[in-house]
Amino acid sequence: MSESVDRPDAAPPAAAMLTHRQILTVLSGLLLGMFLAALDQMIVASAMKTIADELQGQTVQAWATTAYLITATITTPLYGKLSDIYGRKPVYLAAISLFLLGSLVAGIAGSMYQLAAFRAVQGLGAGGLMSLAMAILADITSPRERSRYAGYFMAVFGVASVAGPVVGGLFAGMDTFLGIDGWRWVFLINVPIALFALVVVAKVLNIPHKRVDHRVDYPGALALTVGVVPLLIVAEQGREWGWASGTAIATYVLGVVGLVVFVLVERRMGDEALLPLRLFRKQTFALGNLINFVLGIGMFGGMMSLPLYLQIVKGASPTQAGLMLLPMTLGIMTAAGISGSLTAKTGRYKIFPIIGFGLMATALFAFSTIGTDTPIAETLGIMFFMGAGLGLCMQTLLVAIQNDAEPRDMGVATSSATFFRQIGGTVGTAVFLSILFGVVGDRISDGLRTAFGDPAFQAALAEPENQAFAQSMQDGGTGADLNNTEFLEGLDPVLARPFLDGFSSAIDVVFLVGGLVTLIGFALIWFLKEVPLSNRSGLQRVEDENSASALAGLH
């Protein structure tokens, strides 16, 4: 099933080559942009409960996340196309500026609805921060050496995944900081970082660009919006609406109609399409993005479930849970560094996502066996292998897609990889949360029925301080609202045990499904053709094409 395709490389034109030091200089600006986007997601997630309490919008807090997710996802392919036309630098600066503006106004929001609107502005910028950074890296490095530099991005992502919950928890726990409400700094902290990123990028990101005179596919962008936005909304809200409710079904229909219209528009637009359909005729592009979609589902299944396990079952605070994810970060950085170095030396890459998906599936199946009493050291060890699997897959799949793309399509190809992984992550999060809360009630009820036969449980119920809880049990309930698990912190450990076991068992089901999904990715990756990596950067390949065109003109 493995297939190899040879592609000869011409000698790289010296004019387009950058030194290692020049590449690192440009990289400094790109890493700042990526750090902005990655840190923001982690900070806000850990502080959202406090923010919703402060803005008296607990019941609508999901819209602040959904609004950001919608605009970030929709604009990702648009940024890729715009950067192919107008150049990476001005579009990247625009993305940082939009993110800065969104962060500033989010920090002064007066209601949850205002915050949702301002988070949407943030998302408009975030859609370009990650995808354009990788597209620019593709311009200045060859696919063969790119994996080595991509390790820096994995390191930034890892640092943000650990620092975000810590910083978010810190600000959320402050009443005020420098005379401003502590939670507002969750957004305002982005402002100085974004300003610094603007200065650095404006100064160091000086790479040549030949303007391409194409129309911007606004009809395609509108059709994609009509198609994807309803599906993203139902993915976020479907559990509350009911997946088979009239509202959900209407949303499904609208999304499918939008996607059909999008395909028709893209077919009519041809090469000027937002996502040219000719790219899907390439096996690497089509299959690579399908695998990216599956990777997003499996990745977010693990990354969403682990903090829940650590905080609910093990009783860790958001800050502690963030620090406990360090082994996963170490796994990502270690695997990305080793695979990048070996790829640069050998030019081969397919073996790494094969091993990566295998490690991810094994880790998720191992997670599906952990319980309330599982030693934390065992969980941390499995995290390392989960991270190693992610580190072997994420950058390698992107390099494979970029390597097979023409220079004129580099922005679109790069943004498509981010786009499909984000869509997969959204679907995965929605599905896994639905599974979790669909299972957990029955598991807790089963545990309580068993616990009632335990004399120790009956004795704990009889204690005076537990009378309110005992009364709620007698009224036919479970004694708690599962939408808010804070009650577990002050509950007698004997009475809390059925709840902890129930959550642990339900989370195990999520991990098991995530492992099965990841096995699909493991099967698909064997069919991906391995095109030996080019030694030419995107800029060098453009020079080659220009030289060939000039010679053809002379003859």
Model pLDDT, residue 291: 93
CA separation for the pair 88, 93 (Å, rounded):
9
Give yes or no for a contact between 537 and 13, defined as CB atoms under 8 angstroms apart: no
The mean per-residue pLDDT over the stretch 85-104 comes to: 89
Residues 64-93 pLDDT 10s: 777 887 888 888 888 887 887 788 888 899
- Tokens 């579009």 label which residue? 91
Distances (CA, A) of 309 to 81, 316, 373, 473, 509: 40, 9, 12, 25, 12
Give the helix/strand (H/E) hosting 177: strand 176-177
CATH superfamily of this structure's domain 1-13+280-440+514-555: MFS general substrate transporter like domains (1.20.1250.20)
Domain residue extents for the chain: 1-13+280-440+514-555, 18-212, 218-273
Partners of 486 in beta bridges: none
Model pLDDT, residue 227: 85
In this predicted structure, the answer to whether residue 497 has a pLDDT above a threshold of 70 is yes
Specify the pTM. 0.79
Q: Which conformational region is residue 347 in: left (phi greater than 0), alpha (psi within -120 to 50 degrees), or beta?
A: left
- pLDDT band at residue 305, thresholds of 50, 70 and 90? confident
Half-sphere exposure of 530 (CA within 13 A, CB side): 19
Model pLDDT, residue 14: 39
Which is nearest to 261 in space by CA: 286, 235, 290, 226? 226
Model pLDDT, residue 385: 93
Q: What percent of the chain has pLDDT over 70?
A: 83
- What's the distance, CA 145 to chain centroid? 24
Spatial neighbors of 78 by CB under 8 A, at least 6 apart, are: 127, 221, 274
Model pLDDT, residue 237: 72
The mean per-residue pLDDT over the stretch 47-55 comes to: 71
Looking at residue 212, what DSSP letter applies?
A: -
Query: Is 1-13+280-440+514-555's fold the same as 18-212's?
Result: yes
In this predicted structure, the answer to whether residue 178 has a pLDDT above a threshold of 50 is yes
Distances (CA, A) of 352 to 167, 255, 349, 356: 33, 35, 6, 6
CA separation for the pair 468, 449 (Å, rounded):
19
Tokens, residue 360:
């991810």
- pLDDT band at residue 108, thresholds of 50, 70 and 90? confident
- pLDDT band at residue 2, thresholds of 50, 70 and 90? very low
Residues 188-225 pLDDT 10s: 888 888 898 888 888 877 776 665 666 777 888 888 88
Spatial neighbors of 188 by CB under 8 A, at least 6 apart, are: 103, 104, 107, 180
CATH topology of domain 18-212: Growth Hormone; Chain: A; (1.20.1250)
Give the helix/strand (H/E) hosting 181: strand 180-181
Model pLDDT, residue 299: 80
Tokens, residue 119:
């988070």
- What's the distance, CA 225 to chain centroid? 19
Concatenating the DSSP letter of every residue in 251-316 gives HHHHHHHHHHHHHHHHHHHGGGSSS-GGGGGSHHHHHHHHHHHHHHHHHHHHHHHHHHIIIIIS--
